[in-house]
Amino acid sequence: MAKIKVTKVKSVIKRPKNQKRIMESLGLHKMNQTVEHDDTPNILGMINKVNHLVSVETK
């Protein structure tokens, strides 16, 4: 499977609770933290919900 790198670029302060939970489930806790995930529909759906808070790179 293809891999994607997801980096947290904005804070979740004053964001809805569901967006905070999505960021936690992606494994993003600190600013500028980068995690690598498989390119699955579940992950892409989560990224789509918080695309204004993250930066995505394909690998």
Tell me the CATH class for 3-58: alpha beta
Residues facing residue 5 across a β-bridge = 36, 57
Q: For 2-36, what is each residue's pLDDT tens digit? A: 999 999 999 999 999 999 999 999 999 999 999 99
* Alpha carbons 33 and 7: distance in angstroms, whole number: 6
Please tell me the pTM assigned to this model.
0.93
Q: For 36-53, what is each residue's pLDDT tens digit? A: 999 999 999 999 999 999
Domains of the chain, by residue range, sit at 3-58
Helix axes 41-49, 17-26, angle to 10 degrees: 140
